[in-house]
Structure 1
Amino acid sequence: MSTFKITLHQACLARIDQSIAAATQAMEDAQNSANQETKSSVGDKYETGRAMMQLEKDKFAQQLAQSQELRLQLEQLNPSNGYSSSIQLGSLLRSNEGYYYLAVSLGKIMHEGKAVYVLSAAAPLGQVLLGKKVGDKIQFQGRRIEILELW
C-alpha cells in the first residue's frame, strides 16, 4: 500500500498543479480582456469594463495563491515515511467508510479505482481522526467510523 500512498500523493500534487495552471490562465485571459477593452465615446462604460476585469483578475489571483499554498503544504509531507501507530498529518487510512488521506483539503479523488477523501488536519473530521489508532471507532456527524488500516 506504500506505493499507493506515494502515487496518491503525486496525484494530489498533479491536481493542485492543474488548479495553479487554470488560475494562471484565467488571470492572463482577464488581463488580455482588460487590455482589449477600447475606450468608447461613453467613458463610464470603458472604466466599468476595466474595473470588472480587474475584479476577475483579483479573484483568480486569490485562487492561485490558495493553490500555491496548498502545494507548499503538500510538498512538506513525505509519503514514504515509515509506519506510525497513530494517525498524523500525512497518514493514509482505510476505514469502514473508505480511504482518507490526511494532507490538505482537496476533497474526493479517484485513484487507482478507489475513492480517497483527501482532507486537512484542520478539517472537523481531520481533527477527530488525529491520534487515533487501528481498531479505534469514532462518532462523527451521526456516523460510526472504524479505523481498519493505517499507512
Structure 2
Amino acid sequence: MHRLIIERLTHDLSVLSHAAKAAHEAAIHEENIPDNKYDTLSLEASYVAQGQANRAQELKHALQTYRHLALHSFGEADTIRLTALVTLQDEEGTSKTFFIGPQEGGLKLHVDGEEILVITAASPLGSQLIGKSVGDEVEVGDTRYEIVDLC
C-alpha cells in the first residue's frame, strides 16, 4: 500500500508539474499579451499556473512525508492508528477498506480489484477509527459499520 501511494503521488506530481509549466508558458507567451483591459487570457493562465504550482508543492510535501513514514505492524488485538489498513463491513455484508495516512485523504487506490481509500486521522471517519479495534463499531452517516480486519 505504502509503495502504491508513493508511486501514485510521484506520477501525479509529474503530470501536475508539466501542466503548471505549460500554463506558465501560456501566461507569458507573446500571443497572450492583452490587447485591451478586457483581454484577460494571460491573467487567467497565470492564475491556473499559480494554482497548479501550489498543488505541486502540496504533492511534494506529501511525497516527502510518505517516503519517511514509519509503517506499523498490526494484529487483530491492536488498536487502530496511523498506517493501519482497516476493513469495515456494514449490516448487509458490504466491505470497505481504508488506509489511515498522514496526508492525501481521498486518494483512491486499487489493489487486487479492491478499492482502498486513503483517509487521514483528522477526517471524520479517521477520528472515529483511531483507538478502536477489530469488533468495534463506527457510524458513518446513517450506516453502522463493524471493524472486521486490521493490518
Identify whether the pair has TM-score above 0.5, normalized to the shorter chain: yes
Of 135-144 and 65-74, deviating more is 65-74
The answer to whether residue 49 in structure 2 is matched with residue 54 in structure 1 is: no
Q: 1:22-71 CA distances to partner (integer Å, 9 max, x unpaired)?
A: 2110111012223323377935467x332222111101011112212222
Correspondence for 1:5 = none
Correspondence for 2:113 = 113
Q: Which runs of 5+ in 2 are unaligned?
A: 90-94
Structure 2: how far apart are the matches of 1:141 and 1:109? 23
Q: 1:96-150 CA distances to partner (integer Å, 9 max, x unpaired)?
A: 1321110131333211211111111111100100000011112221111111111
Taking structure 1 as the reference length, the TM-score comes to 0.82
Q: Which runs of 5+ in 1 are unaligned?
A: 1-7
Correspondence for 1:3 = none
What percent of counterpart residues are identical? 21
Correspondence for 1:147 = 147
Q: How much is the aligned-residue C-alpha RMSD, in angstroms? A: 2.1
**Residue 6 of structure 2 aligns to which amino acid in structure 1?**
L
Quick one: structure 1 residues 51 and 87, their matched pair in 2 at CA, closer, same or farther if it must change by over 3 Å?
Answer: same
1:4-15 alignment runs, 5 A limit: 8-15=1-8
Quick one: structure 1 residues 39 and 59, their matched pair in 2 at CA, closer, same or farther if it must change by over 3 Å?
Answer: closer
Q: Alignment length, in residue pairs?
A: 142
**Residue 83 of structure 1 aligns to which amino acid in structure 2?**
F
The answer to whether residue 18 in structure 2 is matched with residue 30 in structure 1 is: no
**Residue 120 of structure 1 aligns to which amino acid in structure 2?**
T
Taking structure 2 as the reference length, the TM-score comes to 0.82
2:31 is paired with a residue whose SS is coil
The answer to whether residue 93 in structure 2 is matched with residue 87 in structure 1 is: no
